[in-house]
Amino acid sequence: MSQGIWEDEYLLALVERTGAPACVADASDSGIALVTGLDTNGRRWQAWLNLDNAAALLVEEPEDVDDVSLWSATPEFVAAVGAKHAELDAELPTDAAGALAWASVAGVQKAAQQSRIKELLRARETFVEELFDALLDELGFPEATQASSQP
């Protein structure tokens, strides 16, 4: 794998190669991320981090818009983003349940609460990487350790 665009098939390849569940956050400019988890049974879950940014990114622009920068300053854009945000928010119970099921298959010992996972998925942070870390922590994954440079 190289730096650049994360391809969905990389996650499947990682799970197949390691024989363990895996999770990735595909972050964009530290402001938004799509988190995807896949377990060894092929069950997948996804959730957006920083929903406000995700809604603005995912909103469909009208066909008659010539200049997106002008449209993004209109009340119609604000309404469209609000509708998309509501749509994403409605998916959070399913997203949180998927994250918890994935963590259970991954063998973590902590009993995370679905309400806390939903709270994290609704949270806003300047750096989305901090939300991803908090999500993994809440799901019960141990903190990463630095490899020793000694033989």
Using one digit for the tens of pLDDT, what is the confidence trace for 62-111? 888 788 778 888 899 999 999 999 999 999 999 999 999 999 888 886 77
Q: What is the pLDDT of residues 3-29, one digit of tens each?
A: 556 677 889 999 999 999 999 998 888
Give the CB-side neighbour count of residue 85, counting CA atoms within 13 A: 14
pLDDT for res 93: 95
pLDDT at residue 131 is higher than 60: yes
pTM score: 0.83
pLDDT for res 35: 93
Residue with tokens 């363990």: 20
Instruction: Give the residue with greater pLDDT, 78 vs 2.
Output: 78
pLDDT for res 62: 83
Side by side, which strands form the sheet with 32-38?
22-28, 32-38, 44-49
Q: Report the candidate in 41, 39, 50 with the shortest Cα–Cα distance to residue 139.
A: 39
pLDDT for res 2: 44
Show the 3-state SS of 38-90. Answer: ECCCCCEEEEEECHHHHHHHHCCCCCCCCCHHHHCCCHHHHHHHHHHHHHHHH
Task: With H, G, I as helix, E, B as strand and everything else as coil, classify residue 3.
Answer: coil
pLDDT for res 79: 94
Instruction: Give the residue with greater pLDDT, 146 vs 48.
Output: 48
